A and B are shown apart, each in its own frame.
Chain A
Amino acid sequence: MKKIINLTKIFFINSSREFAVPFWTIIFPSLFFLLFTSIFENIGNVENMDFKIGVYYEQSLRGIAKDTFDEVFSSSQFSNTPFTMIEYDSFEKGLDNLKKSKINALVVFPENFNLLNVKFFIKDLEVPKLKVYYTNENSSVYAKNIFGVFIDEINTRMSTKGAGVPLTVKEEIIGMDSSQPYRYRDYLFPAIILMSVLTVAVFNMPFDFSFNVEKGIFKKLSSSPIKGGEFFVSFLLSHIILLIMSLIVLYIEAYLFNVSTNIYKPSFIGYTFFSIMIILSVGLFLSSLYKNMGAAGAISQLIYQATIFLSGFYFDVTNSPWIIRWYVYFNPVTYLVDGMRKIMLGSSISLINILVPVIWMISSILIFSLTFKGMVYNEK
């Protein structure tokens, strides 16, 4: 037992000395969570957006039309609009600046748009259409969509003389307890946990293993009184300790960011540990594949990048083309992140969230146990 403790301590200190190990396992997931939450939780939230809208008036606005659009394009701190207006004295200049991405969209107020002031009294009057020019650059498409929503709202307010329309809007996600709001941070948190576990399983463990093989550490250990099993347990424990440290940091961050309280549920914590077991077994399986550090680095990067993007961590991938979709269904992480999210949503996990990962775990452990002895003793 003392041998295992000492060996675990040595392994842990040894791997933690490498800057990359604590950085990618603990610091990077925390930073990633912080940045992604601040970016994607703001989509649709006008307070944090700032689009540059070019405006060209074929004829100066007057009356209600002027007051309305002055408010939309006002950059005062009291107006809750995501637009900064840049006025152009020629249409060509505005369009040129749109094409040069200096503005996100160009709004052209046509001649006779002031008829809008009279339309309140003469309903049948036809007001020329407002023209909104946009490009297919992502920021321009978003600016156009948000501007469209604003115009819709203005139309409703004009028709109701500013009173607005009472409409109760509710949202239900299938299987989710609707009493708790579901925000991007809640959606992302399970993915971030698994990202940290993947780092340990896909990088740290296989790298350590291939390093040991390459440097003949196994050979040296086999000539010492340390048994293969003791080595294996200590090796695994050293990585689990680092992982637990990462989880503690992530949970502190989740607490500070007010992530859903469902993450403290025993079922969520239990399934998280189940996920750790599965992914670490796959890590062991990968470790048994690599024979040198070069191959380990390249193949691990390939697996890591494919898994984090094709497991539904950040966006839905179930509708992707079959050329990549096979990997979505093939890899166990898809089922694990889905299971964790189901628990967070308050619904129960399905059999597939257990079955596919367990098949992976059994196969991985089987392959590893068949090759482990060979790895340790073949160097003799």
Chain B
Amino acid sequence: MKNRRMFSLISIFTKDTFRNWMEVFFTLLLPVLLLLLFGTIFGTEASSGTKEYKIGIVGDVDETIINSIPYKVVFFEDKNSITMALNENIINIGLLLNHENNELTFIQKEPDMNDESIIFIKLELQNILKKHYAGIKEDFINVEFIETSIGENQENPLDFIITGVIGLSLLSGGMFSMINVFGRYKKNGLIKRFLASPIKPFEFTLSASVSKLFFNFISMFIIIILGKYLFSLNYNFNWLSLFCVFISSSIGMMGLGLLLLLIFKDPAIASEAATILYVAMTFFSGVYFPIEFLPKAIRWISNFLPVKYVADLIRFSGNIKQMTLNNFLVINLILFVIGFFLIFVSSKVFLKEE
């Protein structure tokens, strides 16, 4: 009887979720949109690499300089032709050389901010020229850069971004689902009606959570499948580990969502607080840019946000991150226990208030 009641409730909550545009957006569409955006933007950058860059040069160029430049070099007669080539995207950066004054002018179509790789290419070109002017034929120190794989296969930079996007989507899905469902039901007076029925508060919360978990599960699989086929990602998931991460992080974030709802009372404010938290998490996750880029004074914040740990757990499951099994289990357990505790306590208090 109890099972039947739970099953009916889960079925009702699932149907209701699909009818709600905002929930469909935050759980299914936003993660897919972010995957497409960041996958195509950062993915093309990461997979093409800087070796495809084309450097346009004006000025007398010694063959030794050309040989030392590890990029494609195109020669131009004057500054105007280099400007035209930049505008037509034939070259990525132009160089005006004035050997008499040891002067180098970089000509760019856009500032460095549009492509961070250009910063390092410019520094590299400066050093090549310095060595040329100093007549340095051979380096004292030679470096061999060795690309190292973390897992069994060589990872692509995009693998790290996409697994981070999966982490963020699990977090947003878990957090927003609880705020949306409880917020909306509270607003519509539905909770009061449920409480007047023989349904126990915990059954109500559990059914709502299970239906949201089901929704988040679909979302995660869509991202994995899209990532695999659209961006040819190399990750090789350990499905059992991934399932553990999915359950623990979703429950953890559902608990956080309910806690926000309990703190802010008004679902609209709780939703805003969750959005702010989500934005903060994207900044401090290290998914899109290294945490080392953040100002030192605020870098520590990332240690207190779950996103960093969830992204690491997913990367571990995808075999692109190493951590001890103990660490993996402890982080999962912490997320699950805290989340479960928050769901249990918050829902009890929240439903009682009704």
A95 B40 Cβ-Cβ under 8 A: no
- By beta carbon, the residue of chain A nearest B321 is A101
**Which residues of B have CB within 8 Å of A151?**
141, 143
- The answer to whether the Cβ of B86 comes within 8 Å of any Cβ in the partner chain is yes
Known: A298-B24, A324-B36. A130 touches B29 (CB 8 A): no
Which chain B residues (131-153) contact chain A, with CB distance < 8 Å?
131, 133-134, 136, 138-150
- The answer to whether the Cβ of A145 comes within 8 Å of any Cβ in the partner chain is yes
- The answer to whether the Cβ of B239 comes within 8 Å of any Cβ in the partner chain is no
**Which residues of A have CB within 8 Å of B110?**
173, 316
A138 B108 Cβ-Cβ under 8 A: no
B268 A20 Cβ-Cβ under 8 A: yes
Which chain B residues (283-333) contact chain A, with CB distance < 8 Å?
283, 286, 289-296, 312, 321-323
A136 B130 Cβ-Cβ under 8 A: no
From B21, B103, B149, residue with most partner A Cβ within 10 Å:
B21
Which chain A residues (291-306) contact chain B, with CB distance < 8 Å?
294-295, 297-299, 301-302, 305-306
Which chain A residues (42-99) contact chain B, with CB distance < 8 Å?
42-44, 48-51, 95-96, 98-99
8 Å CB contact of A297 from B22, B133, B159, B272: B22
The stretch from A155-163, A219-227, A235-243, A279-287 touching chain B is A155-163
Distance to closest chain A CB from B200 (angstroms): 29
**Which residues of B have CB within 8 Å of A30?**
none
**Which residues of A have CB within 8 Å of B203?**
none
Distance to closest chain A CB from B48 (angstroms): 9
A99 B83 Cβ-Cβ under 8 A: no
B148 A321 Cβ-Cβ under 8 A: no
Instruction: State which size class the interface on A falls in.
Output: 35 or more
Which chain A residues (22-39) contact chain B, with CB distance < 8 Å?
23, 28, 35, 38-39
- The answer to whether the Cβ of B101 comes within 8 Å of any Cβ in the partner chain is yes
B149 A135 Cβ-Cβ under 8 A: yes
**Which residues of B have CB within 8 Å of A297?**
21-22, 25
- The answer to whether the Cβ of B64 comes within 8 Å of any Cβ in the partner chain is no
- The answer to whether the Cβ of A169 comes within 8 Å of any Cβ in the partner chain is yes
**Which residues of B have CB within 8 Å of A315?**
41, 113-115
8 Å CB contact of B37 from A116, A127, A306: A306
- By beta carbon, the residue of chain A nearest B143 is A130
User: A145-157 interface mask toward B, CB cutoff 8 Å, 1 = contact, 0 = none?
Assistant: 1111101111110
Known: A165-B130, A294-B22, A309-B41. A138 touches B290 (CB 8 A): yes
Distance to closest chain A CB from B103 (angstroms): 4
Distance to closest chain B CB from A326 (angstroms): 12
Distance to closest chain A CB from B197 (angstroms): 26
User: B95-117 interface mask toward A, CB cutoff 8 Å, 1 = contact, 0 = none?
Assistant: 00000011111111111111110
Distance to closest chain B CB from A127 (angstroms): 7
Cα A184 to Cα B112 in complex, Å, equals: 8
A-B contact count (CB 8 A): 249
Distance to closest chain B CB from A76 (angstroms): 16
B111 A182 Cβ-Cβ under 8 A: yes
**Which residues of B have CB within 8 Å of A301?**
25-26, 30
A43 B29 Cβ-Cβ under 8 A: no
B133 A167 Cβ-Cβ under 8 A: yes
8 Å CB contact of B105 from A96, A143, A170, A294: A170
A187 B145 Cβ-Cβ under 8 A: no
Distance to closest chain A CB from B73 (angstroms): 19
**Which residues of A have CB within 8 Å of B145?**
132, 134, 144, 148
Cα A169 to Cα B29 in complex, Å, equals: 47
Cα A227 to Cα B120 in complex, Å, equals: 61
Cα A24 to Cα B148 in complex, Å, equals: 43
Cα A54 to Cα B92 in complex, Å, equals: 34
B114 A165 Cβ-Cβ under 8 A: no
B293 A39 Cβ-Cβ under 8 A: yes
A171 B106 Cβ-Cβ under 8 A: yes
- The answer to whether the Cβ of A256 comes within 8 Å of any Cβ in the partner chain is no
Cα A188 to Cα B113 in complex, Å, equals: 9
Cα A251 to Cα B124 in complex, Å, equals: 37
A319 B44 Cβ-Cβ under 8 A: yes
Cα A159 to Cα B37 in complex, Å, equals: 46
B156 A136 Cβ-Cβ under 8 A: yes
- The answer to whether the Cβ of A119 comes within 8 Å of any Cβ in the partner chain is yes
Known: A145-B120, A172-B105. A135 touches B293 (CB 8 A): no
**Which residues of B have CB within 8 Å of A3?**
none
B133 A165 Cβ-Cβ under 8 A: yes
- By beta carbon, the residue of chain B nearest A51 is B292
Known: A39-B295, A170-B105, A319-B44. A156 touches B111 (CB 8 A): no
- The answer to whether the Cβ of A100 comes within 8 Å of any Cβ in the partner chain is yes
A154 B141 Cβ-Cβ under 8 A: yes
- The answer to whether the Cβ of A323 comes within 8 Å of any Cβ in the partner chain is yes
Known: A40-B293, A306-B37. A136 touches B155 (CB 8 A): yes
- The answer to whether the Cβ of B129 comes within 8 Å of any Cβ in the partner chain is yes
**Which residues of A have CB within 8 Å of B112?**
43-44
Distance to closest chain B CB from A104 (angstroms): 7
A173 B146 Cβ-Cβ under 8 A: no
**Which residues of B have CB within 8 Å of A165?**
102, 130-131, 133-134
Distance to closest chain B CB from A150 (angstroms): 10
A168 B22 Cβ-Cβ under 8 A: no
**Contacts A/B (CB < 8 Å), 20 sampled:** A35-B283, A39-B294, A50-B292, A98-B148, A100-B322, A127-B141, A133-B148, A136-B155, A139-B291, A141-B157, A148-B124, A154-B140, A159-B134, A167-B102, A169-B126, A294-B22, A298-B25, A315-B41, A316-B114, A319-B44
Q: 8 shortest A-B CB distances, which residue pairs?
A: A139-B290, A316-B114, A298-B25, A152-B127, A298-B21, A165-B130, A294-B21, A44-B119
Residues of B within 8 A of A (CB): 20-22, 24-26, 29-30, 33-34, 36-37, 40-41, 44, 83, 86-87, 89, 101-116, 119-120, 123-124, 126-127, 129-131, 133-134, 136, 138-150, 154-157, 159-161, 268-269, 272, 276, 279, 283, 286, 289-296, 312, 321-323
* Known A135-B149, A173-B109, A184-B113; 20 more pairs at CB < 8 Å: A40-B289, A42-B293, A104-B292, A120-B140, A127-B142, A137-B150, A145-B120, A151-B143, A156-B130, A156-B131, A160-B134, A167-B104, A169-B106, A302-B29, A309-B37, A317-B41, A319-B89, A320-B44, A321-B40, A323-B40
